[in-house]
Amino acid sequence: MMTKIYPRTGDHQTVYLNAVVKDPQIEVGDYTIYNDFVSDPLLFEKNNVLYHYPINRERLIIGKFCSIACGTKFLFNCANHTLNSLSTYTFPLFYEEWGLNKTDVTAAWDNKGDIVIGNDVWIGYEAIIMAGVHIGDGAIVAARAVVTKDVAPYTIVGGTPAREIRKRFDVITIKQLMELKWWDWPIDKIRQNIPDIISKNLDHLLDIP
């Protein structure tokens, strides 16, 4: 796990996220970065992971080498008033007022599960990721998109609600990248092959033992 907080000397707007988060229900892979030019990026848990209350025990899982832009929000289950009732009012949450059983508090909202972000995912400015969403490796979420459904690997989505814009690569290339999983390589191996990674020289990377 990363212990270094700032990737660049003199830049306190960008942090390695797993050196910042403390909540054990938030898991972040190495080298994933968060940039915030409005607020202190050290306050990511407070400002960006919302409605994440211990009662649900849901997790935010973010992979390695992700890029998360300023203002991205992860909205968890307590933001969801239930649709399985005649009313969306959260009566069970205010159990004292209405003489209800305290143990039924979670009936006030619908639980859609964890938020899971793959590896090498780029999430754009002020995007919103809703509870239960899984975003695949290599995907891109456009600025201010509201993601309510799963996103396939290497797919670009945008809009409200977010919809597929296009695939980043053809089907064969995506399959090869998913098998390659370069983000799981030892760091020295990644460092040696950065020229090929950033120049899209996939054929050479596939030949590496």
Report, as residue numbers or ranges, the catalytic residues.
Answer: 81
Are 10 and 4 within 8 A, CB to CB?
A: no
Q: Helices marked H in the chain — which ranges?
A: 44-48, 95-98, 171-180, 187-192, 194-198, 202-206
CA distance 12 to 32: 15
Query: How far from chain centre, in Å, is Cα 28?
Result: 9
The DSSP bridge partners found for residue 146 are 128
**Largest interatomic CA distance in the chain:** 67
Which residue shows structure tokens 């670009």? 156
Alpha-carbon dihedral sign for residues 198, 201, 206, 208: negative
